[in-house]
Amino acid sequence: MSWWLTVTLHCLMTLAIGVYIIFRFHRFTFIKRLAEKNKILSWVVVAVPVLSLGFFAFFNIFAMTIVTLHLAGGVAICDLVACIVRKVSKKDFSYNVQNLVAILLTVGYLGMGWYFAHHIYATEYTFSTEKNIGSDIRIVSFADLHLGITLDGESFAAEMKRVQETDPDVVMIVGDFADDDTKRADMIAACRALGELNTTYGVYFVFGNHEQGYFDYRDFTIEDLHCELTKNGVHVLEDEAVLIDDRFYIVGRCDRSVEGRQDADKLTADLDKSKYIVLLDHQPNDYDNEAAAGADLVISGHTHGGHIFPAGYIGYAIGANDKEYGTEVREGTTFVVTSGISGWAIPFKTGAVSEFVVIDVTPRS
C-alpha cells in the first residue's frame, strides 16, 4: 500500500470517527440550549474542537488516528452502558455525565499509554546452561528504538547511562534502531552514546525492517548509519557469527525482509555446538528452524509487545509471529521477545511497556 493511499484511508477513517463523536457530543445540555437559539452555531461549537484533532495529522497521522479511535470507543462504551442503565432502572441517564465519563476515560487510558511508552523498564531474566561458559554472562538487549518517536539522541544517551549501571558484559541491539522520521543529528548522537558504553565484550547490532527506510525523505542512508555504528565501535552482524572470548557465540541474522538472507542452520553449521550460542533475529518468525539450528538463546523484537491493545492478541490470532512477547522454550532453545525500548509512530503503549532486557546466563551446577 502506497504512503498516500495509507494517509488518505487514515484521514477518511478519522473523519468518519470525528463525525460520530460530534453527533454524540451534541447531546451536551448546554449545546442543546444553544441549538434552540442558533442551530448552526451549536454544531460549530461541537465540531471545531473535535475536528481540530485533525491538526495533529500534520505531525503524526497515526497518533491522531489512535486518539480519535479511543475517544470514539469511549463514547460507544458509555453509550452502551447508559442504554443498559436506562432500560434496567427505567430512569433517564444524563448525557452530560455519559460524555464526560467518555472523555475522562480516554484521557486517563491514553495518559497511561503515554507513560508506559516513555517510561522505560529494565526487565530481568535468568537462564542456566549446562554448557561450559565459565562464569555468568550478563547480556543487555533492546530493540525497536525507532529513534525520534519517544526518544531523541539526547534522551537515548540518558537511557544508555541506565544500561551502563546494569554492568553488562555485552550489549545486543536487535533491530529497528532508526526509522524514516529519524533525524541525522539524533542518529549520530545515539551511535555516539553506544560507543561510550563500557562493556566486557562490546556492543553488537543487527538491522531490522525499518533501518533501510520505506520512503526517501530521510536525511541519511542505511550506509551512513552503518558507518556511524562502526565508527563508534559497534559490531554490525549481517548473517555472521563471532566467537566471544572462546566462551560463547553471537550469531546475527539479516532481517526477514532481506532477500537471500541465510538460513539459521547454515549460520550455525560450522560452529562448535559445545559452546553457548546466542542468535539475534529482529523478527520472531523462525522458531522451529532456529531451534533445529542449535541456538541456545534467541533474542528478537519487532512486535513491540502488542503496542496498542488489542493488537498483540490479534497478532496471536492470525499467527503473524511465533511469539508476541516474553519467553518460550522450544526443543532446548530459549526464545526472548522484547517489547522494545520505544515503538513505531505511535507515542502510546496500551498493550505493553517500553523496556530493555537484562539477561543473566549462568552455568548450571
What pLDDT digit, counting tens, does each position of 51-62 carry?
A: 676 666 556 677
Give the model's confidence band at 288: pLDDT under 50 very low, under 70 low, under 90 confident, else very high.
Answer: very high
Nearest-10 Cα torsion for 209, 215, 218, 221: 50
pLDDT of res. 4: 61
Q: Look-up: residue for cell 519467553?
A: 327
Architecture label for domain 121-363: 4-Layer Sandwich (3.60)
Specify which residues 278 forms β-bridges with.
250, 297
Q: Which helix (H) or strand (E) segment is 265 a member of?
A: helix 264-268
CA-based radius of gyration for the chain: 24
List pLDDT tens digits, range 191-215: 999 999 999 999 999 999 999 888 8
Q: Nine-digit cell at 246?
A: 572462546
Cα 282 from Cα 263, distance rounded (Å): 14
Whether 358 shows a pLDDT value over 60: the answer reads yes
List pLDDT tens digits, range 217-246: 899 999 999 999 999 999 999 999 999 999
List pLDDT tens digits, range 304-351: 999 998 888 888 888 889 999 999 999 999 999 999 999 998 999 999
In terms of Cβ atoms closer than 10 Å to its own Cβ (0-12, 13-18, 19+), residue 55 is: exposed
pLDDT of res. 53: 66
pTM of the model: 0.88
Mean of the per-residue pLDDT values for the chain?
90
Domain ranges of the chain: 3-116, 121-363
Which of 310, 268, 259 minimizes the C-alpha distance to 289?
268
In terms of Cβ atoms closer than 10 Å to its own Cβ (0-12, 13-18, 19+), residue 63 is: middle
List pLDDT tens digits, range 149-190: 999 999 999 999 999 999 999 999 999 999 999 999 999 999
